[in-house]
Amino acid sequence: MAKNLPLKGIRVANFGWVWAGPVTGQTLAFLGAEVFKIESKARVDLTRTLPPFGDGIPGPDRSLSNHACWAGNGSVTLNLKKPEAQQLARDLVAKCDVVVENFGPGVMEQLGCGYEVLKAVKPDIVMFSMPAAGLYGPLKGVRTYGLSLTSLTGLDSLTGYSDGPPVPVENAYSDPYNGILGAFPIIAALRHRDRTGEGQHIDYSQQEAIMHMVGPAFMDYAMNGRNAAPKGNRHPLGAAAPHGVFPCKGDDRWISIAVLTDEEWSALRNAMGNPAWAAANEYASAAGRVAAATAIHTELARWTAQHDDRELAGKLQQAGVAAAPVLNVGDLLNDPHYKARGTYIELTHPLGFVETIYGAYVKTSRTEVAVTPGPVMGRDNDHVFKTLLGMSPERYDELVAAQIIY
């Protein structure tokens, strides 16, 4: 069972939807907060409709990817188009420490739950908003999905084969990234609240957070006026070579090799059996290797292609070279490292089917995280409305019948 959770006692109303907002709720929940995601059958979240489903039976409570990405969150159903539902949401916020949302700017106001309103019902509330490009500025209304948001940071202009066109990353790295990082300013604001009694409204720009990944390339632009171009898997700052992904025996098998130091270069040469091509004097220094990276990569690929990826990684590691197999999705579940670390966990959903999701992806020596799968819609309605908000069973039934609790 869960033990020694650092955020025990913190309660969160999570208006987040799709991916990033729910992951912020998940992060806080894994760390011990009680998180209630607010959603509605009046507009079922897109991610609840994504296949595959548990046992192959479609249904909004059976999407396997939704259960993984929303794990840890609870669920309260409120049809926020109705004023009575908005009032209930505010009643819940009055009993919370934190509000999370990832709509566009202005949507929470339309739902009767803008910061000023929530501050009136809970003066020290920490409200966390994470729109694509922040709460204000010329691009505040920009429409993006997580997978294209990165284009507004310069990151996509760096992704691709050397000097070729940009190649898209086919899913939204920015969603789990921002979802997880979002917990940091929330906890910082909780600390400030504890010390001063003051709440606040956090303006988290997903664009700006991802642009930190571009920081090194930004500095080159700021200092030298240069715009970086795609460079494959080479070192992002051109500081080291060889540095790349090389083919191995079999279909679509690859190994990553990064040589950052002269010692590692010697180790690689030894592991290859000291071939003549690698003995060139100019390869003895990092600068020489970077200048000749294309030639070195070609020779190295010829050698790696004769080997099995895992065997070669093991052999190179023995020699002290930073090398690892390039895993595909099918490799992950049975990889000995991820198995040993309990990266993925199998559990039985309350609806009876078995599913595999990810567990606590950070290991904590004193805290034991208990992971529950993404919630059935309205899982916590009884508890929240009747116990936490003290609603009578009769009133509850009325609101359900009126599709306000819905």
Partner 1 sequence: MSAGALEGLRIVELGEMVSAPYCAKLFADFGADVVKVEPLGGDVARRWGPFPGDEPDPEKSGLHLFLNTSKRSVTLDLESQAGRDLFRKLIAGADALIENHPVLRMREWGFTYDALARINPGLVMISITPFGQDGPYSEWNGYDLNAYHLSGASSRYCGRPGESPLEHGAFSADFFGAAAAASWGLAAIYGRDNAGGGQHVDVSCAEAIAAAFVGGQNIGAYAQSGKFDKRTGVGMSLGAPATILPCKDGHVWILCLETAQWHGLAKTMGDPEWMQLDIFQDMFSRAQNADAMYPLIEMWTMEHGKMEIMERCQANGVPVSAVFTVGEAAEHPHLKERGYIVEQQHPAAGAIRNLGAPFKLPASPGGPQTPAPLLGQHTDEVLRELGLSSEEILQFRASRTIG
Tell me which residues in 124-163 interact with partner 1 (CB under 8 A): 133-134, 136-145, 147-149, 151-161
Nearest-approach distance from CB 139 to partner 1, in angstroms: 4
Neighbours of 21 (CB within 10 A): 26
Nearest-approach distance from CB 294 to partner 1, in angstroms: 14
Q: Please report whether residue 365 would count as binding partner 1 according to CB under 8 A.
A: yes
Q: Which residue from 117, 245, 370, 376 is in contact with partner 1, where contact means CB under 8 A?
A: 245
* Helical pair 20-30 and 174-181, crossing angle rounded to 10 deg: 40
Nearest-approach distance from CB 359 to partner 1, in angstroms: 7
Nearest-approach distance from CB 82 to partner 1, in angstroms: 24
Q: Please report whether residue 176 would count as binding partner 1 according to CB under 8 A.
A: yes
Q: Please report whether residue 371 would count as binding partner 1 according to CB under 8 A.
A: no
Closer residue to partner 1, CB minimum distance, 87 or 159: 159
Q: Which residue has the tokens 């020489």?
A: 288
Span interacting with partner 1, options 37-45, 60-68, 98-106, 376-384, rule CB under 8 A:
60-68
Q: Please report whether residue 1 would count as binding partner 1 according to CB under 8 A.
A: no
Q: Please report whether residue 231 would count as binding partner 1 according to CB under 8 A.
A: yes
Residues 256 to 295: which contact partner 1 by CB under 8 A?
256, 258, 260, 264
Specify the DSSP class assigned to residue 19: T
DSSP string of 20-33, one letter each residue: HHHHHHHHHHHTT-
Q: Please report whether residue 209 would count as binding partner 1 according to CB under 8 A.
A: yes
Q: Which residue has the tokens 């070669």?
A: 312
Residues 289 to 328: which contact partner 1 by CB under 8 A?
317, 320-328
Specify the DSSP class assigned to residue 227: P
Dist. CA 321–CA 332, nearest whole Å: 22
Dist. CA 126–CA 191, nearest whole Å: 10
Q: Please report whether residue 84 would count as binding partner 1 according to CB under 8 A.
A: no
Q: Which residue from 84, 91, 220, 398 is in contact with partner 1, where contact means CB under 8 A?
A: 220
Q: Judge whether 127 and 201 are in contact, CB under 8 Å.
A: yes
Tell me the one-letter amino acid at 393.
Answer: P
Closer residue to partner 1, CB minimum distance, 230 or 288: 230
Q: Please report whether residue 65 would count as binding partner 1 according to CB under 8 A.
A: yes
Residues contacting residue 76 through CB under 8 Å, at least 6 positions apart:
36, 37, 38, 39, 92, 378, 380, 381, 384, 385
Closer residue to partner 1, CB minimum distance, 198 or 282: 198
Q: Please report whether residue 183 would count as binding partner 1 according to CB under 8 A.
A: yes
Q: How far is CA 337 from CA 264, 315, 340, 356, in A?
A: 23, 17, 5, 17
Q: Please report whether residue 366 would count as binding partner 1 according to CB under 8 A.
A: yes
Q: Please report whether residue 243 would count as binding partner 1 according to CB under 8 A.
A: yes
Closer residue to partner 1, CB minimum distance, 23 or 391: 23
Closer residue to partner 1, CB minimum distance, 264 or 380: 264
Nearest-approach distance from CB 347 to partner 1, in angstroms: 11
Q: Judge whether 307 and 248 are in contact, CB under 8 Å.
A: yes
Q: Please report whether residue 57 would count as binding partner 1 according to CB under 8 A.
A: no
255 three-class SS? strand
Torsion of CA 129, 130, 135, 140, to 10 degrees: -150
Q: Judge whether 142 and 132 are in contact, CB under 8 Å.
A: yes
At residue 11's C-alpha, the angle toward residues 5 and 17, to 5°, is 105
DSSP string of 144-155, one letter each residue: --HHHHGGGTTG
Nearest-approach distance from CB 4 to partner 1, in angstroms: 4
Using a CB cutoff of 8 Å and minimum separation of 24, what contacts does 389-394 make? 389/88, 389/91, 389/92, 389/95
Q: Which residue from 359, 379, 385, 391 is in contact with partner 1, where contact means CB under 8 A?
A: 359
Closer residue to partner 1, CB minimum distance, 179 or 378: 179
Dist. CA 9–CA 239, nearest whole Å: 47
* Helical pair 183-196 and 20-30, crossing angle rounded to 10 deg: 60
Nearest-approach distance from CB 21 to partner 1, in angstroms: 14
Q: Please report whether residue 42 would count as binding partner 1 according to CB under 8 A.
A: no
Span interacting with partner 1, options 80-88, 102-110, 203-211, 378-386, rule CB under 8 A:
203-211
Closer residue to partner 1, CB minimum distance, 310 or 386: 310
Q: Which residue from 106, 123, 198, 284 is in contact with partner 1, where contact means CB under 8 A?
A: 198
